[in-house]
Amino acid sequence: MPSKKKNLSSYTPEKIPDAKNMRFGIVVSEWNTEVTGALLEGAVDTLIKHNAQRENIHVSWVPGSFELALGAQYYADQNEVDAIICLGCVIQGETRHFEFISQAVANGIMDVGLSFNIPVIFGVLTTDTMEQAVARSGGEHGNKGTEAAITAVSMVGLRDSLSK
């Protein structure tokens, strides 16, 4: 378990491929926008930092985390992006709804990636509290949106290196 002060989003920028010619679709949940908006900001800022062109970053919003997989599938169907980043936030409540949604979202996102042979990145926070979500969306534990963007760039880089 991470210490309370550990930034989980630390990485070595020099190890990340150049994203200049990469195209990204980002699907963001409207639920918990305080958190998902911060995740989006982290993802976009990170893509730009690694030379992605703004015109190659396409953002779409969906009602909730459950809809992220279908939103990702819409991007994959168009075949105009190299990777898709899914950003959402599911916070534990008093019922088992959290468990069902979290599992369905994870499976749905994975299924889209495997079905379309494209990186579809799971940037969804599944936390016990809003405070934990805030800490992981630009707070003391970093930004899961940054991590998702790094993963997307890295996976496209891997695909490109294997196709040479």
Bridge partners of residue 83, in order along the sequence:
24
Place of tokens 């950003």: 87
Q: Which of the following is catalytic: 50, 58, 97, 141?
A: 97
For residue 83, tell me if it sits in a domain: yes
Q: Confirm whether 20 is domain-assigned.
A: no
**Tens digits of residue pLDDT in 44-80:** 999 999 999 999 999 999 999 999 999 999 999 998 9
- The pLDDT value given to residue 9: 77
Nearest to 39, CA basis, from 161, 141, 153:
141
The pLDDT of residue 4 is: 57
Look at residue 5 and tell me if it is in a domain: no
Q: Which residues of the chain have pLDDT under 70?
A: 1-5, 8
For residue 41, the Cα-to-chain-centroid distance in whole angstroms is 11
93 in a structural domain = yes
Q: Rounded to 5 degrees, what are φ and ψ at 29?
A: -75, 135
pLDDT value of position 93: 79
Is 97 catalytic? The answer is yes
Q: Write the CATH number for 100.
A: 3.40.50.960
User: Residue 120 domain-assigned?
Assistant: yes
Residue 115 lies inside a defined structural domain of this protein: yes
Indicate whether 76 belongs to any domain.
yes
Q: What's the pTM value of the predicted model, to 2 decimals? A: 0.93
Q: Which of 56, 63, 54, 79 lies closest to 27 in space, CA to CA?
A: 63
Paired residues of 125 in beta bridges: 89
Give the domain range for residue 149.
35-125+137-162
| Distance in angstroms (rounded) separating the CA atoms of residues 126 and 101 | 10
Distance CA 67, CA 88 (A): 10
User: How many domains is the chain partitioned into structurally?
Assistant: 1
Task: Determine if residue 32 is left, alpha or beta; phi over 0 gives left, psi from -120 to 50 gives alpha, anything else beta.
Answer: left
